[in-house]
Chains A and B, each alone.
Chain A
Amino acid sequence: MTEGPSTASPHRPGLSRDRVAQTEAEVIGTSAIERTAAPDALESEQELFTINMGPHHPATHGVLRLLVSLQGEVVRDLKPIVGYVHTGIEKSCEDKSYWKVIPFVERMDYLAYFFNMEAFCGCVERLLELEIPPRANYLRVLHLELNRIHSHLVWLGTTGLELGAMSMFFYCFRDRDRILDLFEMSSGQRMHTRYFQVGGVFEDVPAGFARRVLDFCAEFRTRIDQYEALLTNNEIFLQRTKGIGIVPRQRLIDLGVTGPLLRATGEPWDLRKVDPYLAYGDFDFKVPVGTVGDGWDRYRVRMAEMRESVGIIEQAIEGLPEGPWIADDRKVVLPPRDELSTSMEALIHHFKLVTEGFRVPPGEAYYAVESPRGELGCFVLADGSAKPARVHIRDPSFVNLQALRDMSVDGYVADLIQNLAMLDPILGGIDR
């Protein structure tokens, strides 16, 4: 009597998913968030079973809580409840000078920390009308692409773990450690490096860095081949991901979804190409797109993105221009230390920058980058003082999470896990 789930989620027009006000549906739970309108589609002997997944759950990629209404094993309604790692970062940023905001903002989307830094530093540079030198530009792109590969590797490892391919986890983390060695070489810290500074990068890369990066790139291409050999044509993986979680392209655009999820449906929207920022215009790379937009396409898009990122890294390292690694506007950037003992002005600039920080003229700006999950935007409102008046990060995971319901409703619970894995949410970004 129960029909099997359709493999494609129908586009549901209309505004309100929670049609409680319009139905005489029986209230199953006691709180407003447990009520769902789905029971009016059931026959009289059936009942909907609302279960709670999370916030502590091995598959929820962090502390995401899902209220799932099930009819048997079929998901009929889904409500994500977030906020379990809300850290008040945006409010804290209003209390700190611009430099001190950078480590805060970095810890939002904690796998793509360079992207958070770039969004904020780029926004402040736009407010200051500050140009960064070409070497800093290339170094930023280099680290951003390394971070993209790192984020996709962690995604691949955890996705494999959730779908049962546990060995992917170990392989991906092994390679992730090699990327973290590179970050440690350039900035001294594995994660949350605080490497980008307003005006460029904090420090130049050491000697030997270029060689290490090229060694990594040379080896990494074969690694991607190995990972694809493990998963791409794997019967079990295909059965789990092919045709699952399809949302039509226009619905995704309406939901504000960007990144690999949108590209998997065939929309070639990548901010690095359409709206080039930093030095992305100098590099030759392709934007992989899928066709259908199911889990398998999302996987293929991310694997191809890793390959393209390796290409960009090689081009960046080989074309790395000489020169300063940070702008030389002393009102914003620290003077070199050897000048502190000879120049009084340098000493005064250093003192003012370290104690108070630089002041940004009043204004607002919005700056968007293409993070591994989609459009990561930063809005900064400056009021002329040394502290920002409002910092808002438009996090891609927060907006992409709205697509989870469309992806999962009328599918199996096991496919819900797969959809969540392919959505690649990072709760630090969702909750901020």
Chain B
Amino acid sequence: MPDSPGLELIAGELNEAHPGSVLSTYHEHGQGCLVVDPEQVLDVLGWLREAPGQEYRFLSSLHGVDYLPAEPRFGVVYELLNMPRVERLRIRAALPDPGAEALPELPSSVELFPTAEFQEREVYDFFGIVFRGHPDLRRILMPEEYVGWPQRRDFPIGGEPVIFTHNERQVPRWYE
């Protein structure tokens, strides 16, 4: 993992190459993270992939996080790995919630990292984040016709209440 000054160096170089891309950085528990602007995420990933000193060519994991109630609400986290140096770097694309029925969008990284295909579908399935340019963006783990974005924090967990004697007369049964 690049240590804290190394992380700042990367952030500086990125901001030189693509101005305004890195919004902030933080380094904790031995792992560094760059918070980037979602529209420039392809530039950031491409630079990290190709730049001679960086070469983070392996995308370990692409997943979504809902930071409700913090703003910006959604984060799409890319765990990058440099295999020869065994260094990990986390990129978080911070997406605000557009509100109402609109879905947050950001460009798809399937061209840079083909492994993102299924993982972006999963993020779309669970958070409703649309990846522009994805070849086949549809639900992957939920049924195709499912309505709702289950892993958002305001989506109810579901299930049924457990019936004990103290609430057995209040919980409706299946024959009611």
Interface bin, chain A: 35 or more
A366 and B58 contacting across the interface, CB-CB below 8 Å: no
Given contacts A127-B29, A390-B65, are A256 and B79 in contact (CB under 8 A)? no
Contact flags B15-52 to A (C-beta < 8 A → 1, else 0): 00000000000001111010000000000000000000
- Which chain B positions have C-beta within 8 A of A94? 153, 157
- How far is B68's CA from A395's CA once the two chains are assembled, in angstroms? 25
- Which chain A positions have C-beta within 8 A of B79? 366, 377, 379, 394
Interface bin, chain B: 35 or more
B63 touches which of A254, A274, A394 (Cβ 8 Å): A394
- How far is B109's CA from A125's CA once the two chains are assembled, in angstroms? 31
- Which chain A positions have C-beta within 8 A of B113? 254, 256
A90 and B86 contacting across the interface, CB-CB below 8 Å: no
A binding-site residues for B, Cβ under 8 Å:
15-18, 32-33, 82-83, 86, 88, 90-92, 94-95, 126-127, 129, 253-257, 269, 274-275, 363-366, 368, 375, 377, 379, 381, 389-390, 392, 394, 398-399, 401-402, 431-432
A32 and B58 contacting across the interface, CB-CB below 8 Å: no
A401 and B151 contacting across the interface, CB-CB below 8 Å: no
- Which chain A positions have C-beta within 8 A of B61? 366, 377, 379, 392, 394
B99 within 8 A of A: no
What's the dominant secondary structure at chain A's contact region? mixed
7 smallest CB-CB distances across A and B, nearest first, come from: A256-B115, A394-B61, A83-B141, A16-B135, A86-B141, A392-B63, A254-B114
B29 touches which of A90, A129, A256 (Cβ 8 Å): A129
B161 within 8 A of A: no
**Which residue in chain B gives the minimum CB-CB distance to A95?**
B157
Q: How far is the CB of B60 from chain A (nearest CB, A)?
A: 6
A17 and B158 contacting across the interface, CB-CB below 8 Å: no
A379 and B63 contacting across the interface, CB-CB below 8 Å: yes
B136 within 8 A of A: yes
Give the most central of B60, B77, B122, B139: most A CB within 10 Å.
B60
B31 and A365 contacting across the interface, CB-CB below 8 Å: yes
B31 and A399 contacting across the interface, CB-CB below 8 Å: no
B14 within 8 A of A: no
A256 and B58 contacting across the interface, CB-CB below 8 Å: yes
Q: What are 7 residue pairs bridging A and B, where the CB atoms are less than 8 Å apart in the complex?
A: A88-B157, A90-B126, A91-B150, A256-B115, A269-B83, A402-B118, A431-B141
Given contacts A18-B136, A363-B29, are A256 and B59 in contact (CB under 8 A)? yes
- Which chain A positions have C-beta within 8 A of B126? 90
**Which residue in chain A gives the minimum CB-CB distance to B28?**
A363
